[in-house]
Structure 1
Amino acid sequence: MPWWFLPLLMALMVGLLCPATGTLLVTQRRLLQSNLISHAVLPGLAVALALGLDPALGGVLSGVLGALVAERLQRRDGRSHEAVINTVLAGFLGLGVLLIPLLNLRLDLEAVLFGDLLAVGSSDLLRTLIAAASLLLLVVCSYRSLVYLGVDPDGAAAVGLPVRGLRLALAFVTALVVVSAMAAVGVVLVIALLCAPVLPGLHRVTSLRAAMLRSSLVGMALSGAGFALALFLNLPPGPLIGVACLGLLLPGSRIR
């Protein structure tokens, strides 16, 4: 097997998975929460490493906890949703950075934040497959409810749909996706793959399925092209994929 095959496969998997999840987040108006989750995984990673556990497990739990804390604070006191999320985001990220020296951990913080695609292994690919299976299960089991919730959240609550349960499930899947993509693009740059491929052409699709498929194809093209260009230019793939996401949205860029 060529040395570049596994990193390329990982890049394509992340390029498919992140935009599909991002489509759900955009239609549910929960994209800011994904930014919180992507930063809130760091304390869980640190604690799991200190306890000798799988860091992915700690990251997922920490990411979901951050989302629950933000929702509880906003619901309890009626504060601005954006202000609460940004404050909890900064607090969890700061806590994670502090835990690394406090727990005397050997952790490459730059790789966690910005990814190291060339160093991925079979365990990283397995985490991505688990995240993909979780997303597929959520969509298959709750597709109509997710569409209804995205179109009319108040109406969904009025007819008795489990709105909080659906949002919690989406937060859990998002945390899985963020942790699985961490090896490729890091917990900071993953937000670009969650957002950018979703936006072009979103208003022209006729269904949630079509939007997820379209964004996934765009994400795979971005990730694959970014990885190939990184090899050609001898640059880090993760940041280059992030820059490619920005280029997709620059004036004059069109996805037809």
Structure 2
Amino acid sequence: MSSDPFALLLAPFDYQFMTRGILVGTLIGAVCGWLSCYVVLKGWSLLGDALSHAVVPGIAIAYTLGLPFAPAAFISALMAVGGIGLIKGQSALKSDAAIGVVFSAFLALGLVLISLNPGGVQLTTILFGNLLGIGDSETIQLIIISLVCIVALSLRWKDLMLYCFDEGHARVMGLNTVWLNVLLLSMLSLMTVGALQAVGALLVVAMLITPGACAWLLTDRFGHMLWLAPLIGAACAFTGSWSSYFMDSSVGGTIVLLQTLCFLVILVLAPRHGLLAQRRRSASAGADEEAS
């Protein structure tokens, strides 16, 4: 082993599969972080979790037929969204119940399809991801998915912000809220497919929620969230992928643990919304009451 500390730190980049996994993972982490701002603002955390399970049947069918997994998984996610909307519209069930029924059914269907063709795709790959095992075709798919979402968010970020903050006000302002809803759901479905390859179906919701939650605690301005969340997502994805080489650990698990650690630190130390800041304000308010 080299005694040069810089050579040791750069050791993961001596391998093509590590370099590709780290760079692609960083890109996915950044885009998921950007999208997570809207998911957190809209309150769609449970929907993100549902989509991470809903793509499983599409992936199983794609691998069985030898098709690209991204389009099939995307279609599967859109079908789940349509099913949730149909149940909500045609019954008295609340949205959380409709989401729970649909994503459980889609996950069960995916597990049945995988069991019928166990040689098609490994269940562990779907559940836990395989970022370091992606090939050239999957890399191209993930880059295309990320670029599509980057372009869409760049063009409509203000409209989406208004829609997520107050849908009624957005409608009064003349925005097509139905189109914005479809656009946001489509991007959420696309990035669910992308993040699935990185961290798997069990952890994908973390990449779509945690960076936005961290940014929410750090600032009251949505414009600041839009660069804080991608920075946190990218940094955790890069560091997690890189450090997994030395730890010989799960890449997806390491990435999500780093994101969780960032969230816990920010939860305690955030200058305005952190626990310590709230305690200081409470102590100050108590002192003022005693003085008066």
Q: What is the match of residue 9 of structure 2?
A: none
Structure 1 segments (4+ residues) deviating >6 Å: none
Instruction: Answer whether contact 2:33 2:212 (CA < 8 A) is retained.
Output: yes
Residue 191 (1) aligns with residue 205 (2): yes
Q: Determine the structure 2 residue equivalent to 1:2.
A: 14
Between the aligned partners of 2:95 and 2:254, the Cα distance in structure 1 is 31
Residue 58 of structure 2 corresponds to 44
Residue of structure 2 equivalent to 1:218: 232
Equivalent residue for 2:130?
Answer: 116
| Aligned partner letter, 2:229 | S
5+ residue gaps, structure 1: none
Change (3 A) 1:205 1:128: farther
Q: Which residue of 235, 238, 243 maps to 2:252? A: 238
1:27 paired with 2:41, answer yes
Residue 147 of structure 1 is matched in structure 2 by 161
The equivalent position to 1:94 in structure 2, one of 95, 98, 108, is 108
Structure 1 length-normalised TM: 0.91
Post-superposition CA distance 1:29-72 (Å, at most 9, x none):
22221111111001111222233321111100001111121122
CA shift for structure 1 position 197: 1.4
Q: Give the distance between the partners of 1:24 and 1:127, measured in 2 at CA.
A: 23
Distance 1:255 1:207 in 2: 14
Q: Supply the distance in 2 between the matched residues of 1:78 and 1:26 (Cα, whole angstroms).
A: 25
> Structure 1: how far apart are the matches of 2:118 and 2:240?
35
Distance 1:43 1:143, change over 3 A: same
Shift of 1:253: 4.8
1:74: Cα distance to partner?
1.0
Match of 1:181 among 190, 195, 201: 195
**8 Å contact kept, 2:63–2:120:** no
TM-score by length of 2: 0.80
Measured in 2, the distance between the counterparts of 1:208 and 1:64 equals 28
Does the 8 A contact of 1:248 with 1:254 survive in 2?
no
Answer yes or no: is 1:61 the counterpart of 2:64. Answer: no
Q: Between the two structures, name the one with larger relative contact order (CA 8 Å, sep ≥ 6).
A: 1
For residue 84 of structure 1, what is the amino acid of its counterpart? A
Alpha-carbon RMSD across the aligned residues, in angstroms, is: 2.1
Partner residue of 2:93 out of 76, 79, 82: 79
Aligned sequence identity (%) = 25
Q: What letter is aligned with 2:69? A: P
Counterpart Cα distance in 1 of 2:38 and 2:26:
19
Please say which of residues 61-70 and 132-141 is displaced more in the overlay: 132-141
